[in-house]
Amino acid sequence: MSTPVNLFSPLELGNHTLPNRIVMAPMTRLRAVNGIPTPLMADYYAQRASAGLIVTECTMVSPMSQGYINCPGIYTQEQVAAWRQVTDAVHAQGGRIFLQLWHSGRVSHPALLQGELPVAPSALPATGTLHTPVGKVTLDSPRALETDEIPVIVEQFVQGTKNAKRAGFDGVELHGAFGYLIDQFLQDGSNQRTDQYGGSIENRSRFLLEVVAAVCQAWQDNQGVGIKLSPSNTFYGMQDSNPKALFSYVLAQLNPFPLAYIHLMEPNEKDLAQRAVINPVLPTFRSAYQGVMITNGGYTKSKGNQVLESGQAELVSFGQLFIANPDLPDRLARDASLNAPDFATVYGKGDQNLAQGYTDYSRLGSEP
């Protein structure tokens, strides 16, 4: 009789053997300096290297992709060298780490972009506010991309992938979720184009599929590319008239690519409160994709084991729990108590001690 799969079962993922199925989800922490990762960031990720897989925070593929103050990039040699310090630190602790490649699209502001307008599929503003060098601002209308500009952005993802490999990452994750550029192309609430990148589901999916194809070719090694999708998110005013048809099509089209995984997000409380969304996401879309699936959405140890044993997902990612528990896999294995995150220090800002609420959480046995 076979042993049931659980969070502590190993998994072969491309060229890597994951010692457990606990993924550290990508989380924006805003501790970079002028787009450059710091030694403190290397400490932060190395502390969490016992995860089966770490996925980094969203990382800019170009200066025009910036959406937040103090987020890191992967488009200069200095950034590559700084990320190498991070990957070396994680690998020295026996971990595996993917870089999340990101373009914010319309979720930005000229104050973050040297005075330039943000770019997007269509000149439709996102909803919400951002913190910028000139203070908190309301999101304005972006500039619609010209058709001949789109291949340039695809190439930026390609260069980011090549740079990630040079920086020592084990793979990359494309940020196709949460209302950023790839997601903006997918959903008809943000994409009203009339060229080959707009209109039908097939056309709105074109940008994503072009990025996936180009990035898979750039990575070359087997299964070094993942993608994050959020069919039910409402972040920054995202919506689609038929999300089930859209994301069923996208997932089916992703099957032929040599992907490491798809990272599928469940709706959060705000999503559920704002409008009727697909809930739960995983059972709705699992049959559309035959590869490895990571599920995310408020999982506990018990719920994580249940979803793995059901076969609906192969990996479970944890976000908030990893903020406050650098040794989360050990704590879950022992059913130990969990530290609570300090939400006031989640994002780095101002003259804050950047280690506070970042690298100063206790490990088992180190509590005072």
Residues with active-site annotation: 180
Q: Encode the chain in three state secondary structure.
A: CCCCCCCCCCEEECCEEECCCEEECCCCCCCCECCECCHHHHHHHHHCCCCCEEEEEEEECCHHHCCCCCCCECCCHHHHHHHHHHHHHHHHCCCCEEEEEECCCCCCCHHHCCCCCCEECCCCCCCCEEEECCEEEECCCCEECCHHHHHHHHHHHHHHHHHHHHCCCCEEEEEECCCCHHHHHHCCCCCCCCCCCCCCHHHHCHHHHHHHHHHHHHHCCCCCEEEEECCCCCHHHCCCCCHHHHHHHHHHHHCCCCCCEEEEECCCHHHHHHCCCCCCHHHHHHHHCCCCEEEECCCCHHHHHHHHHHCCCCEEEECHHHHHCCCHHHHHHHCCCCCCCCHHHCCCCCCCCCCCCCCCCCCCCCCC
